[in-house]
Structure formats: structure tokens, C-alpha cells
Amino acid sequence: MLRLHSYWRSSASYRVRIALGLKGLTFEHFTVNLLKNEQSQPEFTALNPEGLVPLLEHDGLRLSQSTAIIEYLEEAFPSPALMPADLQGRARVRAICQMIACDIHPLDNLRVLKYLTGELGLSSEQKDTWYAHWVIVGLTAVEKRLAESATGQFCHGDLPGMADCFLVPQVANANRMKVDIAHLKRVVEINARCMALPAFQQAQPSACPDAVAA
Ligand SMILES: N[C@@H](CCC(=O)N[C@@H](CS)C(=O)NCC(=O)O)C(=O)O
């Protein structure tokens, strides 16, 4: 049994939900309500001392970090593959994933935004400017990467894969925060193509069991 500790609006959890869906894996969903700070409560930090979602439990393993989780799923359940067969293709996919997971997401994470408006005393407008800035910088770099010939209908080739698991939640965050990314044509087109697929639709925040009407 796969158990996923997740929050509907967590984009790192969304990555894992997409990967599970693409692989056709069913899982038990456990909500960690970030707005209620449940990620920092002892009940959850006993499972994941980092105090972050997602957390996957499988066969006695408790695994944090969406990238590690998706790579674990890829190795434990190889078919259908989310990574290309060739060495260089896999390296390219990892690079795109890290552009999002390492160069965008940590700058705009909830605890960072809270620190900006809390300890550093920034206004809500300044916080939103910070947020939009790093999304635009990061997704512009992704857009340039997607101009490469290895890109197909999806981030890498013509099948949805690991890089798409990372791109779509980051686009969802940008849209939710009203960051204008319409000029990033490849990003927008690939996101739309992904969102036409059931695995992406079923993983999206509004489809989660803990979703709250906006
Ligand atoms: N690098 C981690 C990031 C995990 C992460 O930052 N999760 C966010 C939600 S998307 C979280 O739990 N935030 C809680 C907080 O900021 O207090 C991963 O890829 O899993």
C-alpha cells in the first residue's frame, strides 16, 4: 500500500500525485493542512522531521522530497516509464526538474513567504512581487530549455514524463498567484496538453479529497 501525506495546494505534493496517476498507482491520501500548520506538529514531524509535504510511505519506507519520491516510484514501478531510456535524455529531464524544484519553488515556499511578511516586515504587495519575480525568472529559463529539439508534445519527447510532473504544478501556482506567463508559449502549451490528460486532472488541487472551495 502506498500512502501519501499531501496537501491539496502543495505543488510538491501535486508533482507526486501526477507521477502516481501516470503510473496508474492507487494510494491512500493523508491530509497535512499547511494552513493549520499541521506540518510542524509533533504528529507529523515524527514521520517527517523536515516538516514538509509530500511524504510517501511504502513497504516500511518513509520518504520525503518529491524528486526522491518520484525517482523511487520510477524504480519500484518502472512501467510506464516517466524517464527516457537514454542517458542524456534522463540527464536533461533531471535538469528541467531541478530548474523548478531547486531554482523556483524554494524561493516561493510558504515558510519563505511567511518569513518575508513576518520577520522581515515586507508588505503583502512586496511579497507578491518577490513571488512573481522568481516564477518569471525560473519559468523563462525553462521556456528557453523547452526550445531544444528534445522537447516534443511534452517537456521531453511525445509522452508525458517526470519533467511534466514538475512543470504543471509550478504553472498552477503561477496562475493561482496571477503571475502573467502567457508569453511563455511552450510552457503554456505543454501545460495545456498535460491538463487534457486524466492523470493530471485527477492530481490537480481541486480534485483532492482535502480541497476547499475557493
Ligand atoms: N524540496 C521539497 C519541498 C517540499 C515543500 O517545500 N513542501 C511545501 C509545500 S509545497 C511545504 O510543506 N511547506 C510547508 C511550509 O512551508 O511550512 C520537495 O520537493 O518535496
Length of the chain: 214
* Distance in Å, CA 165 to ligand 1 centroid: 15
Q: Which of 52, 55, 100 to mutate to test the pocket of ligand 1 (most atoms within 8 A of CB)?
A: 52
Cβ(45) – ligand 1 distance below 6 Å = no
In CATH, what number does 87-200 get? 1.20.1050.10
* CA separation for the pair 99, 105 (Å, rounded): 9
**Domain coordinates in residue numbering, the chain:** 2-80, 87-200
The pLDDT assigned to 213 comes to 75
Q: Which of 13, 16, 53 to mutate to test the pocket of ligand 1 (most atoms within 8 A of CB)?
A: 53
In CATH, what number does 2-80 get? 3.40.30.10
The pLDDT assigned to 181 comes to 98
Q: For the purposes of burial, counting CB atoms within 10 Å of the CB of 13, is it exposed (0-12), middle (13-18) or buried (19 or more)?
A: buried
* Distance in Å, CA 86 to ligand 1 centroid: 30
> Residue 132, Cβ neighbours under 10 Å: how many?
17
CA dihedral 159, 161, 166, 168 (to 10 degrees): 30
Kindly state the cell numbers that stand for 177. Answer: 498567484
Could you read off the pLDDT tens digit of each residue along the chain, which spans 214 residues? 999 999 999 999 999 999 999 999 999 999 999 999 999 999 999 999 999 999 999 999 999 999 999 999 999 999 999 999 999 999 999 999 999 999 999 999 999 999 999 999 999 999 999 999 999 999 999 999 999 999 999 999 999 999 999 999 999 999 999 999 999 999 999 999 999 999 999 999 999 999 997 6
